[in-house]
Protein backbone atom coordinates (compact mmCIF):
# COMPACT_ATOMS: atom_id res chain seq x y z
CA UNK A 1 0.00 0.00 0.00
CA UNK A 2 0.99 3.60 -0.44
CA UNK A 3 1.51 6.09 2.36
CA UNK A 4 -1.87 7.62 1.49
CA UNK A 5 -3.67 4.28 1.78
CA UNK A 6 -1.90 3.61 5.08
CA UNK A 7 -3.11 6.98 6.36
CA UNK A 8 -6.70 6.14 5.37
CA UNK A 9 -6.45 2.79 7.17
CA UNK A 10 -5.24 4.52 10.33
CA UNK A 11 -8.13 6.96 10.17
CA UNK A 12 -10.64 4.13 9.70
CA UNK A 13 -9.21 2.35 12.75
CA UNK A 14 -9.38 5.54 14.82
CA UNK A 15 -13.00 6.15 13.78
CA UNK A 16 -13.83 2.57 14.65
CA UNK A 17 -12.31 2.97 18.11
CA UNK A 18 -14.21 6.23 18.70
CA UNK A 19 -17.48 4.61 17.56
CA UNK A 20 -16.96 1.62 19.81
CA UNK A 21 -16.34 3.90 22.79
CA UNK A 22 -19.22 6.24 21.95
CA UNK A 23 -21.88 3.68 21.02
CA UNK A 24 -20.63 0.49 22.66
CA UNK A 25 -20.95 -1.48 19.43
CA UNK A 26 -18.98 -2.07 16.26
CA UNK A 27 -20.25 -1.89 12.70
CA UNK A 28 -20.44 -5.67 12.86
CA UNK A 29 -22.52 -5.78 16.05
CA UNK A 30 -24.69 -2.66 15.67
CA UNK A 31 -28.34 -3.73 15.79
CA UNK A 32 -29.58 -1.80 12.76
CA UNK A 33 -31.92 -3.05 10.08
CA UNK A 34 -31.00 -2.98 6.42
CA UNK A 35 -33.24 0.07 5.96
CA UNK A 36 -31.59 1.87 8.89
CA UNK A 37 -28.16 1.20 7.37
CA UNK A 38 -29.37 2.57 4.02
CA UNK A 39 -30.82 5.72 5.62
CA UNK A 40 -27.64 6.23 7.64
CA UNK A 41 -25.49 5.85 4.52
CA UNK A 42 -27.73 8.29 2.62
CA UNK A 43 -27.43 10.86 5.41
CA UNK A 44 -23.64 10.50 5.37
CA UNK A 45 -23.64 10.93 1.57
CA UNK A 46 -25.77 14.07 1.85
CA UNK A 47 -23.36 15.49 4.42
CA UNK A 48 -20.51 14.72 2.03
CA UNK A 49 -22.32 16.54 -0.79
CA UNK A 50 -22.65 19.62 1.44
CA UNK A 51 -18.95 19.51 2.38
CA UNK A 52 -18.00 19.13 -1.28
CA UNK A 53 -20.18 22.09 -2.29
CA UNK A 54 -18.53 24.25 0.38
CA UNK A 55 -15.06 23.23 -0.82
CA UNK A 56 -16.01 23.86 -4.47
CA UNK A 57 -17.18 27.37 -3.56
CA UNK A 58 -14.00 28.02 -1.57
CA UNK A 59 -11.87 26.81 -4.49
CA UNK A 60 -13.74 29.04 -6.96
CA UNK A 61 -13.34 32.06 -4.68
CA UNK A 62 -9.63 31.34 -4.25
CA UNK A 63 -9.07 30.97 -8.00
CA UNK A 64 -10.98 34.19 -8.70
CA UNK A 65 -8.91 36.03 -6.11
CA UNK A 66 -5.63 34.68 -7.47
CA UNK A 67 -6.68 35.67 -10.98
CA UNK A 68 -7.52 39.20 -9.79
CA UNK A 69 -4.05 39.47 -8.26
CA UNK A 70 -2.46 38.28 -11.51
CA UNK A 71 -4.33 40.91 -13.50
CA UNK A 72 -3.06 43.56 -11.10
CA UNK A 73 -5.32 46.20 -12.59
CA UNK A 74 -6.05 47.88 -9.26
CA UNK A 75 -3.94 49.67 -6.69
CA UNK A 76 -1.08 47.88 -4.96
CA UNK A 77 -2.34 45.42 -2.33
CA UNK A 78 -0.16 44.86 0.71
CA UNK A 79 0.90 41.35 1.64
CA UNK A 80 -0.99 41.73 4.93
CA UNK A 81 -4.22 42.37 3.01
CA UNK A 82 -3.55 39.36 0.79
CA UNK A 83 -2.86 37.17 3.86
CA UNK A 84 -6.11 38.27 5.51
CA UNK A 85 -8.13 37.63 2.36
CA UNK A 86 -6.57 34.17 1.96
CA UNK A 87 -7.20 33.41 5.62
CA UNK A 88 -10.87 34.28 5.13
CA UNK A 89 -11.13 32.10 2.02
CA UNK A 90 -9.11 29.14 3.29
CA UNK A 91 -9.81 29.32 6.99
CA UNK A 92 -6.88 29.27 9.38
CA UNK A 93 -4.71 26.94 7.29
CA UNK A 94 -2.53 29.80 5.95
Lowest mean pLDDT among 9-13, 21-25, 35-39: 21-25
Residues 44 and 22 in one domain: no
Do 57 and 12 lie in one domain? The reply is no
Instruction: For residue 64, give its domain range.
Output: 34-94
Residues 42 and 84 in one domain: yes
Q: Are residues 27 and 39 in the same domain?
A: no
The total of structural domains in the chain comes to: 2
Residues 21 and 50 in one domain: no
Is the domain of 90 the same as that of 45? yes
CA distance to 15, 73, 80, per residue, from 62 (Å): 31, 18, 16
How large is the C-alpha radius of gyration of the chain? 21
Q: Is the pLDDT of residue 73 over 60?
A: no
Average pLDDT over residues 14-42: 94
Q: What angle, rounded to 10 degrees, do the helices at 34-71 and 79-90 form?
A: 160
Amino acid sequence: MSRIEDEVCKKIQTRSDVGKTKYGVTMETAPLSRLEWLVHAQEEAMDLAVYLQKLIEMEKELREYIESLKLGGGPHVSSAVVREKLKRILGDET
